[in-house]
Structure 1
């Protein structure tokens, strides 16, 4: 683990942007009606189409590793319910951009509507193009969040990072953080998690 490369606010006395994003973005607003009463449960929740809204504790870990700042351009791969997309939108603010892709058209449409209902107009949610990872035409990105596991580091997405950009993704069950530095990569691993498959 490359601890010198990781963000930290502990003991700094600074505000906590991730906690603020969670407070401003209720999970229940992104769940099907039958799951909304379970929004406070710290576990994945079924949203249909074989997908889940990720466990809040897992999402928090991923967002802290991603270290998003206002004004960043972010790619959210596998946006699912749209909750992580909305959290990212809060973190980048109106001076930033969030591009989200989702392979299930019905989920992409619902996520776009739910994010729009929060007034976060600096977000786009689109259906993924079969055979294409991410949105290479909109690259480079300061941050890339991947909420599905393809079993390997998705180099197609690493290539979409800006210099000094960060990608967080599960890789064969291990949450992995990659920072691009020139032609090199700084990679660290952060525990075992289960995600739906990246297809």
Structure 2
């Protein structure tokens, strides 16, 4: 089957998701500011998170802190035509811009919603996978609660990449290196 994460990282162009004045930074392996105090995450970090998430075709995925929409698009390619990706973003302008790009790229199985009062998007739960591209101060239990049985959550918590697996009402938590992210607003 090859390397689906490596393949999708090569296929989905980061520059499609950057503001015009930041296009020169598309191939730079570092976070790129996208406005409103948010960033498009470092490609190496995104790849590591996607590998920890272990997305398969047909899965339902929640992308919290969707920002530019790049991770939502990457996830959409990984879940394929039989899967679904729901992104959530707190900045209305970023959500609008990201949805325009997703529509232009004809990624109909992916959409970005405007974040509400509850962390995540419980309306469409449960999810097989949840990716969080912002740093939490503690494990975000509302997102754990939105996982399907056997589901996986990947989230930076206090500078440590954290992987949570939900099985039979229990969770297993493991840490996978140190990372820096913008804060997960309100959490």
Give, in whole Å, the separation in 1 of the partners of 2:107 and 2:9.
15
Unpaired runs of 5+ in structure 2?
none
For residue 19 of structure 1, what is the aligned residue in structure 2? 6
Q: TM-score by structure 1 length?
A: 0.91
Q: Which of residues 171, 177, 181 in structure 1 aligns to 2:163?
A: 177
Residue 46 (1) aligns with residue 33 (2):
yes
For residue 160 of structure 1, what is the aligned residue in structure 2? 146
For residue 173 of structure 2, what is the aligned residue in structure 1? 187
For residue 16 of structure 2, what is the aligned residue in structure 1? 29
Give, in whole Å, the separation in 1 of the partners of 2:60 and 2:15.
26
Are the equivalent residues in 2 in contact too, given 1:94–1:120 (CA < 8 A)? no
SS at match of 1:133: coil
For residue 11 of structure 1, what is the aligned residue in structure 2? none
Q: TM-score by structure 2 length?
A: 0.97
How far off its partner does 1:175 sit? 0.3
Residue 76 (1) aligns with residue 66 (2):
no
Are the equivalent residues in 1 in contact too, given 2:149–2:167 (CA < 8 A)? yes
SS at match of 2:45: helix
Q: Which of residues 31, 35, 45 in structure 2 aligns to 1:58?
A: 45
For residue 5 of structure 1, what is the aligned residue in structure 2? none
Moved over 6 A (4+): none
Give, in whole Å, the separation in 2 of the partners of 1:120 and 1:17.
17
Give, in whole Å, the separation in 2 of the partners of 1:99 and 1:24.
20
SS at match of 2:162: strand
For residue 127 of structure 1, what is the aligned residue in structure 2? 114
Q: Deviations over 1:56-93 (max 9, x none)?
A: 00000000000000000000000001000000000001
Corresponding residue pairs, total: 185
How far off its partner does 1:170 sit? 0.3
For residue 149 of structure 1, what is the aligned residue in structure 2? 135
Give, in whole Å, the separation in 2 of the partners of 1:47 and 1:158.
28
- Aligned Cα RMSD in Å? 0.7
